[in-house]
Structure 1
Amino acid sequence: MRLSAVQAITPRLKPGKILDALGAMQNSLTRTAQRIAAYILHDPASVTQFSIAELSSETQTGEATIIRFCRMLGYKGFQDFKMDLAIEVATRDSSNDALLDADVQDEDDMQVIGAKLQATINNVMSETLNLLSAEALEQVVVQLRQADKVCLFGVGTSGITAEDAKAKLMRIGLRVDAATNNHFMYMQAALMKPGDVAIGISHSGISAETVKALKLAREAGATTVALTHNMGSHITQCADVVLINGNRQGELQGDSIGTKIAQLFVLDLIYALLVKFDPKVAQSIKRKTANAVNSGE
């Protein structure tokens, strides 16, 4: 029985990464596995005290299903998983979680609401660093440095992120464009070639337009990169490299600030690593582009 489209994670998740990884893969799990993941995310401390029979009863799933769920995460079984989860629960900082999970109340003033938003930003960046693969990020940077052309694809708020990244990468000399209209996305993608890099941005990973554009770019021979929160989602199926961003957010934020900060954080990290490779050249090109813009004002 397959639990999900997410492949087994090996080696096993380290304490400190378990809950973030479960949150990122949750939408790619089957309904049965989602119940297990949702229960663990909702009350991880209780799960560390449960026997497998108790978790089976609470989630209305079979014990064998729970064992398969744990093995999907790279563990030998439930006891193995529970031990690392207990370490994570014991060492995590719960102060920000309390702020994060709290909705805005009538009595909240600007300082309190500001603190809740700050907690969201801090948490989503920490979660993103937790979920990002250093090897994948390095691979993307190498590909971008060698690319003849870079295309960024995204719709809605992800399209705004794509435009922001375009401006930043152009400043340091990359031949880059961003497409946020589906027709332009498809045309750009179809005209790409080997040596080009296409980056598809979709927080959910199921944006039909962005998935199709990335698929077309891959078929044209370009190296494809997916930036998403959803492990095992449609967009990851047509990506050579997958970058996972965080999404820890409460009712306060909806899909706005947490999603936006997570995406911008990853792209700014890529930008910083590109500059780090050759800071003198990057500074020279950035000065040239800045002078060009300023001379027209």
Structure 2
Amino acid sequence: MPVGDRLSPIERTWSAGWTAEMLPQPRDTLDRVIILGATPIGNLGDASGRLREALTTAPIIAAEDTRTARQLIRALGLEAQPQLVALHEHNEEAASPALVERARAEDVLVLTDAGMPTVSDPGFRLVQAAVAAGVAVTCLPGPSAVLTALALSGLPTDRFAFDGFLPRKAGERDRMLASVAREERTLVLFEAPHRLADSIEAIARAMPDRRIAVCRELTKRFEEVRRGTAAELVDWAKAGVKGEIVIVIEGAVPVLADLDAAVEQVLRLKAGGMRLKEAAAEVAEATGHPRNALYQAALANPTTA
């Protein structure tokens, strides 16, 4: 029998490269911290063992919505009676100093309604205040709508950017999308279901033929991922979509850093028989350089007849 078959589960874990230091470690009871706790984004089964322990032992919980925090404790079947304090976008700046001072004497667990605190959710200002005051901050990793959608999208995951919610107003949304249209990293965005169709149409205008994935109700019973170009998904979105929405957008084709190289490409196409305007348009589409800039530079080149 192979040696690996005689190993216990923990020993097999160690044999894969883990060490004893990676097992749960006891904390010094004098070491008080602010704890950022990632909560389930839909499926309660995603609540980690560390989160359950923190919910049970933390004397104070700073929650985006105290009612949601109570519901989570009950739903997980935990017997805990922590002090619940509201920490949301409207009071975070004012509430943070007092919470930081309390964290000098007792642990403060920070929760948002779903997912990781500070990521498009309250918690960032509290962490800033804690760092400035020299109070320790730690994190209980766990569910993240951003990473879950990115993993399911089928789009490149090696480099990505997260830009939170799209602007609500059409003009601001169009300007924002225009500003990121040449972003080469995969882009992750949040959107409300009642604005989804308008947003997908705006993406289609700003980034024609760009692949996207629309992920909704992640980890929940009716989880769904729709993939295609923005234009291909408009009719689906207009039919009505419910639930929490994450949009993942393919990055742009890399722009040539050297304009001269792009102009040379235009000139090669012209030398091959293509009209100058058509050559400039083709290279502009491929490189991201403005079509008119390429046309004027090629026109000024001495080799252009």
Q: TM-score, normalised by structure 2?
A: 0.28
As a proportion of its length, which structure holds more strand?
2
As a proportion of its length, which structure holds more helix?
1
- Name which one, 1 or 2, has greater alpha-carbon Rg: 2
